[in-house]
């Protein structure tokens, strides 16, 4: 009996020692492992754990030309889930990945060419391979030099769906590009991409993500995005894609050198819907086509060809049974 008590006291003493020194040995082990993989400037500051998790105050390191960091994070767990290698929660106020320089990133790997083809993985695999029940990232930042990219946004995962929203704030042609969507565990995927219209009155460094005001002097419709695409894939494998393209003077004039014209005023508007219906197993050869499309367009242009011209057209188009059809005419838009 005395031996059992001594062993029990020893186990308790070891457990208390491990708990008391965790803010020291956990960073030390993590830093040693990362440095063995080539990481530099590793910083890890953690707080004492409780029965349900512990907090990470700061975690940063540099590896392969990238500076990666996490701030004010929380890891949640249950003792039973730890035995299965799972966490119940990962929440972080801020997560960032920054490219230190375009020369430090190393040579990109050669593409792995295989003859296996391409297939969209089942959405349910996200939950199968993610060892965390819930993820909440309040602020995600990705900054790269090559290609020029500076993205900020949010990301979340729970038992039912994955949701995300990211905006590119780097000056350039894709300034203000917004990607958003969600993936449901049952197999439904929805996503959207929006590129705001350009405004001559806006300085290159002024991003739509930072300022939503537009100058009325430009004469453009600020409520219309330059391009918008919204897609959805249902659980049966069918898909629908809707979108619009709205080009004004500034965008069309970029094409002038390519087609040797001089644009004075221009407007191009296209709306479309594309649908894909997965063919049922054993469907007859004369069954409905898998892909259909429909939409409308409007085109107004004045300029020199080199002689002055005033062009205008509008109409609708459809694609069905491997046949395109276009009907010109319609009310002014």
CB 135 within 8 Å of CB 163: no
Task: State the burial class of residue 74 (Cβ atoms within 10 Å of its Cβ: 0-12, 13-18, 19+).
Answer: middle
Q: To the nearest whole number, what is the mean pLDDT of the chain? A: 79
Q: Residue 181 corresponds to which tokens in the numbers above?
A: 């969507």
Residue 300 has what pLDDT?
A: 92
- Residues with Cβ within 8 Å of residue 263, at least 6 apart in sequence: 249, 252, 253, 255, 256, 301, 302, 303
Handedness of CA 202, 208, 213, 215 (dihedral sign): positive
CB 94 within 8 Å of CB 74: no
Q: Is 77 helix (H, G, I), strand (E, B) or coil?
A: coil
Q: State the CB neighbour count (10 A cutoff) for residue 219.
A: 10
Residue 133 has what pLDDT?
A: 93
* pLDDT per residue as tens digits for the range 84-136: 888 899 999 999 999 987 554 444 455 455 444 445 567 778 888 889 999 99
Question: Looking at the DSSP assignment, which residues form a beta bridge with residue 91?
Answer: 74, 136
Q: Residue 297 corresponds to which tokens in the numbers above?
A: 């367009």
How far CA 271 is from CA of 98, 167, 294, 302, in Å, comes to: 37, 23, 8, 22
Lowest mean pLDDT among 73-77, 108-112, 149-153, 287-291: 108-112
Largest CA distance in the chain: 107
Radius of gyration of the chain (CA): 28
Residue 114 has what pLDDT?
A: 47
Residue 329 has what pLDDT?
A: 81
Residue 238 has what pLDDT?
A: 84
Residue 283 has what pLDDT?
A: 54
* pLDDT per residue as tens digits for the range 127-179: 888 899 999 999 999 998 877 889 999 999 999 999 999 999 988 878 889 99
Domain boundaries, the chain: 1-104+122-176, 188-199+222-280+287-333
């Amino acid at each position: 009996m005395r031996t059992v008590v001594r062993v029990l006291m020893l186990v308790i003493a070891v457990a208390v020692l491990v708990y008391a020194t965790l803010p020291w040995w956990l960073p030390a082990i993590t830093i040693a492992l990362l440095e063995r993989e080539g990481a530099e400037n590793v910083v890890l500051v953690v707080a004492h754990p409780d029965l349900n998790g512990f907090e990470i105050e700061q975690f940063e390191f540099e590896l392969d030309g990238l500076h990666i960091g996490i701030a004010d994070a929380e890891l949640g767990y249950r003792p039973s889930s730890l035995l299965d290698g799972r966490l119940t929660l990962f929440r972080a106020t801020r997560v960032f990945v920054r490219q230190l320089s375009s020369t430090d990133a190393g040579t990109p790997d050669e593409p792995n060419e295989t003859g296996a083809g391409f297939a969209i993985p089942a959405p349910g695999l996200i939950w199968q391979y993610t060892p965390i029940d819930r993820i909440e990232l309040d602020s995600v930042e990705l900054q790269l030099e090559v290609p020029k990219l500076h993205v900020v946004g949010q990301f979340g995962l729970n038992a039912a769906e994955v949701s995300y929203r990211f905006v590119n704030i780097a000056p350039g042609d894709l300034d203000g590009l917004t990607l958003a969507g969600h993936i449901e565990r049952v197999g439904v995927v929805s996503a959207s991409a929006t590129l705001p219209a350009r405004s001559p009155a806006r300085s290159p460094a002024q991003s739509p993500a930072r300022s939503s005001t537009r100058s009325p002097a430009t004469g453009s419709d600020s409520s219309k995005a330059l391009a918008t695409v919204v897609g959805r894939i249902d659980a049966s494998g069918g898909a629908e894609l809707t979108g619009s393209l709205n080009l004004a003077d500034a965008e069309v004039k970029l094409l002038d050198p390519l087609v040797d014209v001089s644009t004075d005023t221009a407007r191009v508007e296209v709306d479309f819907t594309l649908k894909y219906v997965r063919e049922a197993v054993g469907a007859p050869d004369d069954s409905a086509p898998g892909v259909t499309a429909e939409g409308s367009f409007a085109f107004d242009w004045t300029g020199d060809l080199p002689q002055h011209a005033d062009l205008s057209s509008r109409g609708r188009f459809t694609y069905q049974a491997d046949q395109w059809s276009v009907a010109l005419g319609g009310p002014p838009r």
